[in-house]
Amino acid sequence: MSSNFLLSVELIKLMGWLTKNEKTAIKALIKKAIFRGLGKELEKVTTSSHAEINNDMVHDTFVNFLVYLEETLLEALQQENVNKPLRESLISAIQDLKIDNIDTQTLWTSVKQAERELSQNEIHSAKQADAKKMLLEKIFKNWNPTKKEISH
């Protein structure tokens, strides 16, 4: 068994980002694992069972976990690249619109809904006009203007 292994820059960045920005989510995941059976497994661990854990087992468990993280990260990045043209079409559509009176939450919700609907319809290469039309539909659906916003 070799104790050397290579971590990708992307995986290192992911681990750093998660520990900096997602401590609460990581803590919740650990609590969930304890509740769903890890706690009972840990209760069974005794001093004698520590001897049963050999270096190969430790190495394999660690490497399997890191490989899973890396594969999941790569899948997410590939999905992000698939949605990138769609997102760029939506951003371009936003820039074409006069949206001074629309609150950020409505705009954000509308963009996410349009993105989701366009990608579900497998219109990954959505034309600018399609993206703009879908975004306008979602904005009109989500926007509840106040009298002050209407008077401008």
The 3-class secondary structure across 22-80, one letter per residue, is CHHHHHHHHHHHHHHHHHHHHHHCCHHHHHHCCHHHHHHHHHHHHHHHHHHHHHHHHHH
Token pair, residue 88, equals 């760029």
The boundaries of the domain holding residue 132 are 77-142
Domain assignment of residue 120, yes or no: yes
* pLDDT tens, residue by residue, 59-116: 888 888 988 898 888 888 777 666 667 767 777 777 777 766 677 777 778 877 887 7
CA 5 to each of CA 8, 60, 70, 118: distance values in angstroms, whole numbers, following the listed order: 10, 11, 13, 41
Query: Is position 44 within any domain?
Result: no
State the pLDDT at residue 25.
Answer: 93
In a domain? residue 128: yes
Prediction pTM value:
0.51
* Residue 131 belongs to some domain of the structure: yes
User: How many domains are there within the chain?
Assistant: 1
CB atoms within 10 A of CB 146: 9
Q: How confident is the model at residue 124 (pLDDT cuts 50, 70, 90)?
A: very low
Higher pLDDT, 43 or 33: 33
Per-residue confidence band for 152, with pLDDT thresholds at 50, 70 and 90 = low
Residue 97 lies in a domain: yes
Q: What is the pLDDT of residue 51?
A: 65
Tokens of residue 112, six digits:
């996410």
Reduce the DSSP state of residue 126 to 3 states and report it.
coil
Of 95, 93, 99, 79, which Cα lies nearest the Cα of 127? 93
Within a domain: residue 118? yes
